[in-house]
Amino acid sequence: MAMNYSPLVMEHFTNPRNVGEIENADGVGEVGNAKCGDIMKIYLKIDDEIITDVKFKTFGCASAIATSSIATELIKGKPVSEALELTNKAVVEALGGLPAVKIHCSVLAEEAVKAAVKDYYDKNGIEYDAEMFKESSCDHCCHAE
């Protein structure tokens, strides 16, 4: 079935930004969706609370790759606190929309960024509010329990 993707989704899918991994990353987050089987991994380099570099590896659908790509662009050069505020809605908007059945792919991007920040906090003994890392609630989400 052909999906009706926005030009930006297609652009990020065919030419994804920041693909790869960072050796000795300060934070690494890996999340997966049990239902579709897609896996997303995000690596962060953080200096003085600023995300100086970010890379991703995604084994997934076109939307998962496009959302990972745009998410890395949205958080690169930003303070860690801003990355934590990245929502799947912001990711979808930045891509010019996603088909409803593909919204869950953007949730994966939000969660991967958050998981990487959490890893950074954990590794550095930085205290945080666990509430910030609760799973996103998304009507279209197909997370298996």
**Smaller CB distance to ligand FES: residue 25 or 103?**
103
Interface residue with ligand FES among 61, 74, 95, 116 (CB under 6 A) is: 61
Minimum CB separation of residue 75 from ligand FES in Å reads: 19
By the rule CB under 6 A, 111 interacts with ligand FES: no
State the Cα–Cα distance between residues 64 and 39, nearest whole angstrom: 9
Exposed, middle or buried by CB within 10 Å (0-12, 13-18, 19+), for 85?
A: middle
Minimum CB separation of residue 49 from ligand FES in Å reads: 30
Alpha carbon distances (Å) from 75 to 36, 37, 62, 104, 116: 26, 25, 20, 20, 12
The residues that touch ligand FES, with contacts defined as CB under 6 A, are 33, 36, 38, 60-61, 63-64, 102, 104-105, 108
